Structure 1
Amino acid sequence: MKAFKTTTHSSTRASIGTPVGSAVMEDLIDQPGPVEIRTVAADWEVPLSGVLNLKHPKAVQAGLKDRKEAIKIYAHVVRHPTHGFFLVDTGVSRQFVEDPAGEGVGWVMRKFQAIDKMKAQESTSEIIEAEGVPLNGVFMTHLHLDHVSGLPDIPKDVPIYTGADEPEATLFLNLIAQGTNNNLLDGRPPLQELQFAKDPDGRFEGVNDVFGDGSFFAILTPGHTTGHLSFVARTPAGPELLTGDVCHTRWGWENDVEPGTFLAERQPSIDSLLKLKALSKRHPNMTVKLGHQP
């Protein structure tokens, strides 16, 4: 069975970021830092079986059944005192919801992804406008529809950063998603792939010091997608962890249960979840922001 890339849009090595060991990150992150984060949520709903493995023994024991689950779609505003304003993921563009076909969303995605159920409290364009300064880049946890749904509001010249190999990762389901991703990325510069080296401390697949000053780290957390990224920021109030879709739900996080059908590879997804849980336990002052629930 033929597999398809996430997107055929061009990509290149990112010009920012330095691979480091996880010990370098963990030696720093409990120190208050200069990064400020504001998280903006939109509303959506999906099958619980997608965001939580209902076959996991803990889910079975709890009697969890498939149902429509209320979730959030997040955009995280990242402010750095010298590097400026960035986003982690893109939020929701109202234009995307009101006219998905006009924004390049394929008919299969329109039919089955319940885009009409997306409710933006603050659209991506409003998020950018509220900052009052140029958007310097977008860090993508991954390239799924609900994470690129704000792209129509992102200026075309703004760099988009992904995990290494995220654009090139192959999966049969990309047969449906590839065209939409290509359309949303059309006219933009090549995707910027953050680079990773094998973690010498063995705690993660890789860690990248994004700004080179120990204030904001990308962690390679594969499973949901091949190049999935999570992020840790040093803020004045302590470290903040943005898990992305390593964990969608609060119940999943509290019970160490990975997502359900919404993932590429199960065992790497489980491993990434347990590694992030261990990180949060080693740093009990850490604020954890999950992929799709508070």
Structure 2
Amino acid sequence: MKLLNFKATSHRTTPASIGTPVRSAAMESLIEQPGPIEVKTVGADWRANLSGLLNLKDPKAVKAGLTDRKEPIQIYTHVVRHPEHGFFLVDTGVSRRLVEDPASVGVGLMLRKYGGISDMRPTQSTAEVIAAEPSPLKGVFMTHLHLDHVSGFPDIAKDVPIYTGADEAEAGLFLNIVAQGTNNHLLSGRPPLEELQFTGDPDGKFAGVNDVFGDGSFFAILTPGHTIGHVSYLARTATGTVLMTGDVSHTRWGWENDVEPGTFLAEREPSRQSLLALKALSRRHPDMTVKLGHQA
């Protein structure tokens, strides 16, 4: 049976109405310059198996004596404010409705039983994050469509645009046999997912880069491996550039030691290459703030 039968979601998709593919050199020429974006990060406590978060078979992990355990982590949503385009989220955070009554919002039985939902501890729910903003939510930029990144959808209005990487919805993965139904329920009644478009980077540093608002303030970087359409985001703020890696790197140890995630990925080598590409970017721009997928 082909993995393509198990898409992340069968929800409709369409090319995004915003964003233009650009070469990475155009992005990097601006990284050292202050920008107009504001970024605030909100986290919910969670925990997960370290063997999923980190490749424990990597020689560095073996040498460090790392073994499997429940690792304290966070589920993040990043509030992104643009002075003209408004308020957006990167990933959705956690809805209290999903934690307290997951069946009522369409979470399937297997994910209710094994997805770790009861361990999610939001200090500020997605609804509260949105309510705290003085302007309406204009859109959500997804790094990818895994449960811990879509868990705020019950608090997000149905007409809010949802942006993903190209082919993220269609990517085949065996795990989607239990996740697809939940994703379909959480996306039900919403407009088609808007897929950010990428072309090959002429500079050869990334799989692709997209200038989301067209003004050089906010970029989407295609970073496949964790999922085929995984996207990281880079924002230029008044106090410096912020890189949101998503699940290219879940943990601080993995980031600092160039070790990709463990079992929580679709393809290992692309995942590793995406990690190394973001690490190289951070070395070229050492003043950049890096926000990892699940740890500070």
Q: TM tier, shorter chain?
A: over 0.9
Deviates most, 106-115 or 16-25: 106-115
* Superposition map of 1:73-152 within 5 A: 73-152=75-154
Q: Distance in 2 between matches of 1:157 and 1:207?
A: 27
SS of 1:184's equivalent in the other structure is helix
* Aligned pair partner of 2:26 in 24, 27, 37: 24
2:217 is the alignment partner of 1:215:
yes
2-side partners of 1:50 and 1:105: how far apart? Answer: 21
Corresponding position of 1:260: 262
Separation in structure 1 between the aligned mates of residue 57 and residue 263 of structure 2, nearest angstrom: 11
Q: Deviations over 1:160-182 (max 9, x none)?
A: 00000000111121111100000
Please say if 1:60 is aligned against 2:53: no
- Superposed, 1:247-286 pairs within 5 Å as 247-286=249-288
Gaps of 5+ in 2: none
Shift of 1:2: 3.0
* Identical-pair percentage: 74
Deviations 1:225-260 (A, max 9, x none): 000000010000111000000000000000000000
Shift of 1:133: 1.1
Structure 2 equivalent of residue 2 of structure 1: 2
- Partner SS, residue 290 of structure 2: strand
Gaps of 5+ in 1: none
Cα-to-partner distance string for 1:241-292 (whole Å, 9 max, x where unaligned)? 0000000000000000000000000000000000000000000110000000
Secondary structure of the residue aligned to 1:40 is strand
* Structure 1 partner of 2:47: 45
SS in 2 for 1:102: helix
Letter in 1 for 2:195: E
1:62-120 deviation per Cα after TM superposition (whole angstroms, max 9, x unaligned): 00010000000000000000000000000000000000011100000111111010000
Output the CA distance in 2 between the equivalents of 1:187 and 1:70. Answer: 34
SS of equivalent to 2:180: helix
Counting matched residue pairs gives 294
Who is 2:173 aligned against?
171
Give the TM-score, by structure 2 length: 0.99
Structure-2 separation of matches of 1:135 and 1:273:
30
Cα distance in 1, alignment partners of residues 98 and 179 from structure 2: 15
Q: CA deviation at 1:132?
A: 2.1
> Does the alignment pair 1:35 with 2:37?
yes
Q: Secondary structure at the residue paired with 1:96?
A: helix
Structure 2 counterpart of 1:233: 235
The normalised TM-score by structure 1 is 0.99
